[in-house]
Amino acid sequence: MSETTHPTDRAARLARAKAVLGASTKVCPPNRATELLEAVIAPGDRVALEGDNQKQADFLAACLAKVDPARVHDLHMVQSVLALPDHLAVFERGIANRLDFSFAGPQSRRLAELVAAKALKVGAIHTYLELYARMLVDLTPQVALIVADKADRDGNLYTGPNTEDTPTIAEAAAFRGGVVVAQVNEVVDHLPRVDIPAGWVDVVVPGPKPYAIDPLFTRDPAKIRDENVLMAMMAVAAVYEPYQVTRLNHGIGYATAAIELILPTFAAQRGLKGKVARNFVLNPHPTLIPAIEAGFVDNVYCFGSELGMERYVASRPSVFPVGADGNLRSNRALAQVAGQYACDLFIGGTLQIDPQGNSSTATKGRITGFGGAPNMGADPHGRRHDSPAWLRAGEEAGERLRGRKLVVQMVQTRQPNGAPSFVERLDAFDLAAAAGFALPPVMIHGDDVTHVITEHGVCNLLRCRSLEEREAALRAVAGDTEFGKRQNTDMTEALRRRGIVMRPSDLGIDAATATRDWLAAKSIDDLVTASGGLYTPPAKFRK
């Protein structure tokens, strides 16, 4: 590991960069980008590569994967998300050997293979906030490779709607003597606004094509099934309504998309407009359009943007954080903080839940990570402001001096591949042993979870007064899985009488009526219509 970068070291790196740039002050031709990286990166460096769960510094990632391993090696990669093959190619080629990250997504299986083959060592799987914090403390990058929409010739950057990780990474490196290299779509004379000042940026590289960006938060309403609608109805009736939740964050999935699409129908029928789901911390989900147009939603603060939603968002500055340039300004770090401290509810999904309510997305043969869910899905003990939802949750939990954040796991009893979602032991324990982790990578700890919702019902863990009751409540909603079959029927009925376990009928819901008819939009085309034609879906979602 190289020592903390000193000004003289920075000067030497920039002098080598200057030899590559020639007469240009800050702009590096794309065909010399790999040579530039070989000039500014030293063996053993910590390198932050911007690869978040939407936009990617994909050209810089490809250039890094092409450097000469004899010149650049033993790198310690620090990045939010591994989404591209080039993100792992640096380990396959011996350019890097250590990794600290948050989420792996599509590269999760290959990452597990490389860890098993000892081709890389994982320092830790972080939450987003945890990783950003460590970039400022003990994982400060010597070189940061970031991405933005535009740069001017001085090096000022305009990130456009997808600010995402960029400001945090740039600041961590720029104010500790590091070198910041920015991939941009184009170099222009005048920027719509300055998101990152030129003083933080050392070199700008125009990419040969626009940077990669994934419409990660788009869910096609046509793929929402009746059981998703049923779970959404139970979520509204068992959580949103009784706790009067106004400030919240939704995870990604068809069940939460179904909630968004039944707000103008089912929730409105229950008289909840103006009472629930008014303030979101959320990417601009297309499935939220009908609720916004129905006047359900007051405002949305965003982690990032969403492809195709740019014109719609720009036309709703009273709802989204739109600047004078007419475009969204997002910030993932600030949104994570807002999701943790300003929200009363986090509702999301997982892959496995154990008898204690611990959940994880780390399963056999996959090192997925968990991104921001542990930040959103944690009860923040530092919180001091009250709200009706927070106070009621605390009262139900028996808290005397503080409230509780609502943390809901909404999952069908079996995953799409048939694997049970409820297990006696998380795969995360085996993964920890294989990868040499001190602790299993639990995504959300059971003592933070307040409710679990499946297609069979809701269990309110706040009302449980022992670990045995919590386990029984979880088994009661686990359906025909082996985990669920071990539940005692008499115990389930006793828990129902105490309101710990709730079936649809206990919530006034006729399961036979829980169909797609409740959805305010049943297709992508319906979302386009609801937006007044402002939503322009990416090609992959068009017929």
Closest C-alpha to 355, from 473, 465, 442? 473
For every residue of 467-506, DSSP letters joined together read: HHHHHHHHHHTSTTSHHHHTS-HHHHHHHHHTTSEE-GGG
Residue in the structure block whose two tokens are 């720029």: 174
* Alpha helices (H) in 53-120, listed in sequence order: 58-64, 85-92, 108-116
Q: Longest Cα pair distance anywhere in the chain, in angstroms? A: 81
Q: Is 391 exposed, middle or buried (0-12, 13-18, 19+ CB in 10 A)?
A: middle
Distances (CA, A) of 156 to 18, 94, 159, 197, 441: 18, 34, 10, 5, 39
Picking from 347, 354, 393, 399, the residue whose alpha carbon sits closest to that of residue 373 is: 347
Q: Cα separation of 69 and 265, whole Å?
A: 59
Please give the domain boundaries of the chain with CATH numbers for all domains. 7-206 (3.40.1080.10), 221-524 (3.40.1080.10)
Q: CA end-to-end span of the chain, whole Å?
A: 51
**Ordered per-residue pLDDT tens for the chain, 543 residues:** 444 445 569 999 999 999 999 877 899 999 999 999 999 999 999 999 998 878 999 999 999 999 999 999 999 999 999 999 999 999 999 999 999 999 998 899 999 999 989 999 999 999 999 999 999 999 999 999 999 999 999 999 999 888 889 999 999 999 999 999 999 999 999 999 999 999 999 999 999 999 999 898 999 999 999 999 999 999 999 999 999 999 999 998 999 999 999 999 999 999 999 999 999 999 999 999 999 999 999 999 999 999 999 999 999 999 999 988 899 999 999 999 999 999 999 999 999 999 999 999 888 888 888 889 999 999 999 999 999 999 999 999 999 999 999 999 999 999 999 999 999 999 999 988 888 889 999 999 999 999 999 999 999 999 999 999 999 999 999 999 999 999 989 999 999 999 999 999 999 999 999 999 999 999 999 999 999 999 999 998 986
Contacts of 333 (CB under 8 A, 6+ apart): 128, 129, 132, 165, 167, 168
What is the C-alpha to C-alpha distance for residues 103 and 79, in angstroms, rounded to an integer? Answer: 9
| CA–CA distance, 96 with 88 (Å, rounded to integer) | 9
* Integer Cα distance of 330 and 305 in angstroms: 7
Prediction pTM value:
0.94
pLDDT in tens, 460-492: 999 999 999 999 999 999 999 999 999 989 999
299: Cβ contacts below 8 Å, ≥ 6 apart:
278, 279, 280, 318, 319, 320
pLDDT tens for each residue of 239-255: 999 999 999 999 989 99
Buried b vs exposed e over 129-151: b needs ≥16 C-beta within 10 Å? Answer: bbbbbbbeeebbbbbbbbbbbbb
